[in-house]
Structure 1
Amino acid sequence: MHEQRQRADALRNADKIIRAAIAVLRESGPEVSLDEIARHAGIGIATVYRRFGDRDGVIRAAFQTYFAEEVEPLVLATSGATDAGRALAEALSGTVDTLVTHHGLLKAARESGAFTVDIAERFIGPLGIVLDRAQRHGQVRADLVVRDLAAILVMVLATVHPSDPGHDDSRRYLALLLSGLRPSADELPPPSAHRLRPGGAPAQGPPWPA
């Protein structure tokens, strides 16, 4: 019983730290310190280090939580759509819309290696079903794979910057890249067979521990 209570306390503390990181990054921007996150969470800094290792570990956990709660529902909502091509575009647009509003978390996630094509691919994997339907209906290129959609997200979100509060750039470049999904007789070159682990080391297979 004591061990179960300790485990439950550890999970609660981890969740407090993650929620604090998301909130503080929104309020204070990407340069927020680990001490500030710990203060906001009401958790001792030693507990933060013990649970997450370092600031990058906190950022990675915060970004993955945000992605799971805000982006995955958008992706899963497309599964029953009658117009697969439109659902695909709306899922990507919705993902960009929610992430551009959280510039602090987004920038910190890029700097910590928490937001890469490989990680985006993991979270939007369910779009593969919709992509397959759109391809069968001739709405998008036949040679697209889910990783291409993940790369579109990463490329578009790389254009987000504080001096563009209306997010005009991200809307423009998303529209440009979505236009490249249309059916074409031109074949795409094959993608790389390699994936990147956090920190940049190449690897085969899943890029991130489950």
Structure 2
Amino acid sequence: MITDTERHPRADAVRNADRILRAARVVFAETGPDASLEDIARHAGVGIRTLYRHFPNKADLVRAVLGQSISEDLAPAIEGALDDENPRDGLVNLIDAAMSLADREHNTFAAARMVGSLPADVSTVFYETLTGLLHRAQEAGLIRADLVPADLPRIMGMLFSTLWNMAPESDGWRRYLALVLEGLSPATANPLPPVAAPEKRPA
């Protein structure tokens, strides 16, 4: 007798991969970035060989986990921000979505840094979108005119750094986001010091 698994091996493989990714998100959140692949396989209800068949190493798994999170949470936020008639609201909502994602997946991002699998292409799209929204908001007089695109990754870096000394999913970062957003207002804004040049790394 042919089983459903034998009849639809590809569908079964897709289901297993999804179970592993969602299990990894839970295990990283509960255990930390050092979570083992064995623990993730156990939580997903699959054998370790099945996990390795889909994700040969931890870097591949972490990259796929972040890819799933980004496609489910950040990609729709980027689309929504671009469609927002108010570019300042779009920019604020996108930063909020990125911070919320980083907060939820804090340990997964830490694991990605450990194994060198941060998705650079997603960062590019994210910052390109922020830059476009910044220009539109400045043209509409909704954000101070002396803010430049080079400021955006540094501002996000400051905001992301607040997550390292707060309880996970505490939303404490919103206080500092509010402070940053106050600084973006064109009303009574004092001139900013010059933009620092990017750090030159040794060849």
1:121 deviates by 2.9
Call closer, same or farther: CA 1:182–1:144 in 2, change over 3 Å.
farther
Task: Choose the corresponding residue for 2:70, options 51, 61, 67.
Answer: 67
Amino acid at match of 1:15: D
Is the partner of 1:144 in helix, strand or coil? coil
Q: Deviations over 1:58-77 (max 9, x none)?
A: 11210121122112222221
Which structure dedicates a bigger proportion of its chain to helix?
Answer: 2
Is the partner of 1:161 in helix, strand or coil? helix
* Aligned-pair Cα RMSD in Å: 3.7
Q: What is the CA–CA distance in structure 1 between the aligned matches of 2:177 and 2:120, rounded to whole Å?
A: 16
Matched, 1:22 2:17: no
Call closer, same or farther: CA 1:35–1:151 in 2, change over 3 Å.
farther
Residue of structure 1 in register with 2:108 after alignment: 105
Range that drifts further, 123-132 or 25-34: 123-132
- The unaligned stretches of length 5 or more in structure 2 are 1-6
Task: Choose the corresponding residue for 1:152, options 151, 155, 169.
Answer: 155
Task: Choose the corresponding residue for 1:188, options 177, 190, 195.
Answer: 195
TM-score with structure 1 setting the length? 0.69
Residue of structure 2 in register with 1:121 after alignment: 124
Q: Percent identity?
A: 34
Q: What is the CA–CA distance in structure 1 between the aligned matches of 2:200 and 2:15, rounded to whole Å?
A: 39
Task: Decide whether the 8 Å contact of 1:117 with 1:154 is kept in 2.
Answer: no
- The unaligned stretches of length 5 or more in structure 1 are 195-201, 203-210
Task: Decide whether the 8 Å contact of 1:29 with 1:104 is kept in 2.
Answer: yes
1:7 deviates by 4.3
Call closer, same or farther: CA 1:142–1:82 in 2, change over 3 Å.
farther
Call closer, same or farther: CA 1:110–1:148 in 2, change over 3 Å.
farther
Call closer, same or farther: CA 1:128–1:9 in 2, change over 3 Å.
farther
Task: Decide whether the 8 Å contact of 2:24 with 2:65 is kept in 1.
Answer: yes
Deviation >6 Å, runs of 4+: none
Q: What is the CA–CA distance in structure 1 between the aligned matches of 2:32 and 2:124, rounded to whole Å?
A: 26
Q: Deviations over 1:20-42 (max 9, x none)?
A: 11122223333321101111222
Q: What is the CA–CA distance in structure 2 between the aligned matches of 1:58 and 1:81, rounded to whole Å?
A: 34
Call closer, same or farther: CA 1:54–1:7 in 2, change over 3 Å.
same
Which structure is larger by alpha-carbon Rg, 1 or 2?
2
